[in-house]
Amino acid sequence: MPGADSDERFAILVVRSGGVAGLSKQWRAEPDPELAPHWRELVESCPWDAPAVPTSGADRYQWRIEVHRGDTAVHRARLSDAQVEGPWRSLVDEVRQAASPGSRGRAR
């Protein structure tokens, strides 16, 4: 993350919306300081500046991924379901796992 300090806390938010029912689901990970390097690597591996590729089709999921440092979003992306692959898939899967009830909302 630009200007990321090793002691600075950050949060990753993933929101999935759409699908047949049109419902939204949200996951949030706030990495503990000792795990921050792993999470920064996941975040930086994603192509944040790549242009969005339009997709068509009804009942598809749309994804919003944000990285926040304090109250400021340092990265934002809106992706179609088909675009959530490679580094994006890794980041989304890790955030979802970290936000699961057994993890108490902390990143592993």
Q: Does the structure show a pLDDT above 50 at 81?
A: yes
The number of C-alpha atoms within 13 Å of 68 and in the hemisphere containing its C-beta is 12
Instruction: Give the pTM.
Output: 0.81
Instruction: Count the neighbouring beta carbons within 10 Å of the beta carbon of residue 92.
Output: 21
Lowest mean pLDDT among 48-52, 63-67, 76-80: 48-52
Bigger pLDDT: 52 or 28? Answer: 28
Q: Where are the domains of the chain?
A: 11-103
Residue 18 has a pLDDT of 86
Sign of CA dihedral 41, 42, 45, 49: negative
